[in-house]
Amino acid sequence: METKPTEISSSKMFGGYNKRFKHFSPTLGCSMTFHIYFPPSPSPSHKFPVLYWLSGLTCSDENFIIKSGAQRAASSEGIALIAPDTSPRGLNVEGEADSWDFGIGAGFYLNATQDKWKNWQMYDYVVKELPKLLSDNFPQLETSKASIFGHSMGGHGALTIYLRNLDKYKSASAFAPIANPINCAWGQKAFTNYLGGNKSDWEDYDATCLITKFRDVRATILIDQGEDDKFLQDQLLPHKFEEACRNANVPLLLRFQPGYDHSYYFIATFIDDHIRHHAQALRLN
């Protein structure tokens, strides 16, 4: 089984290239795909800082690359974009495809502890395996300069991974993140199944809980949230996160955007601001 990534597609965009790769992931025990957007290179030896994008429920590594328009600003800022998939695939675990908010396409960027879902180790895949794989195989990437952002379930992933690895990521941002999953139905369903019934185990994967533990946040966290997002009140709970940040003195810029929904049209509208936010942090550090 080939752990080295194989290029399976390549398309030029804004002077750089969207490239899709396939590899066998020992962490997840299955074959995985991911996308890299390489900006145009000023010289053969140039190295790009990397910005990880974590997608939301039902997405693969393709949605962000196809819909966000992020490549325009990534090209001009000289930042490589890394878009992994959202869960293991092809393992045929009973029930893995029964619902859109659990199992396939819904890895929640955690390490499952329950035996049935033992392959669902997306936290380790994103934080450990993927950066090593990039570092080993793509000399044009400066993987020690990394930031992370995401949408919805991927916003939850970006915030929690950032807070637990302040040494690894220079900055974090999110679009409509699931900001307090232990208190919403999506999170409770996923965490019960992946992590078991002991709720204290859930807090390691809840951004609002983590804020109180990791106060040494250097860069301001940027969050955009559409006011017409139908998941805002019941699932996303950004006010809980805002309150926790205020109490912990963590710098947060939470912007409510009137009229915007939960879609990639919302993301595309504000993606340039997020890329610039990370470009600044990556340049400074």
Catalytic residues, by residue number, are: 152, 229, 262
Nearer to a copy of itself, 75 or 180 (CB): 75
Is 204 within 8 Å of 165 (Cβ atoms)? no
Nearer to a copy of itself, 68 or 171 (CB): 68
Q: Could you give phi then psi for residue 252, rounded to 5 degrees?
A: -135, 135
Size of the site for a copy of itself (CB under 8 A): 22
Q: Is residue 175 involved in binding a copy of itself (CB under 8 A)?
A: no
Distance, CA of 35 to CA of 76 (rounded, Å): 19
The one-character DSSP state at 88 is -
4, 7, 8, 15: residue in contact with a copy of itself (rule CB under 8 A): 15
Beta strand pairing status for 141-151 and 172-175?
parallel
Cα dihedral 215/123/179/149 (nearest 10):
80
| Chain centroid, CA 238 distance in Å | 17
Q: Is residue 99 involved in binding a copy of itself (CB under 8 A)?
A: no
Q: Is residue 228 involved in binding a copy of itself (CB under 8 A)?
A: yes
41, 165, 263, 280: residue in contact with a copy of itself (rule CB under 8 A): 263
Residues 6+ apart with CB under 8 A from 62: 20, 35, 83
Tell me the three state secondary structure of residue 243. helix
Beta-bridge mates of residue 9: 20
Q: Rg (Cα) of the chain, in Å, rounded?
A: 18
264, 274, 279, 282: residue in contact with a copy of itself (rule CB under 8 A): 264
Long-range contacts of 199-202 (CB under 8 A, 24+ apart): 201/113
**Segment interacting with a copy of itself, rule: CB under 8 A, options 23-31, 66-74, 87-95, 119-127:** 66-74
**Segment interacting with a copy of itself, rule: CB under 8 A, options 85-93, 117-125, 231-239, 259-267:** 259-267
22, 47, 72, 128: residue in contact with a copy of itself (rule CB under 8 A): 72
Q: Is residue 265 involved in binding a copy of itself (CB under 8 A)?
A: yes
Q: Is residue 62 involved in binding a copy of itself (CB under 8 A)?
A: no
Q: Which of residues 207-226 bind a copy of itself (CB under 8 A)?
A: 226
Binding stretches for a copy of itself (CB under 8 A): 11-15, 18, 66-67, 69, 71-72, 226, 228, 259-261, 263-266, 268-269
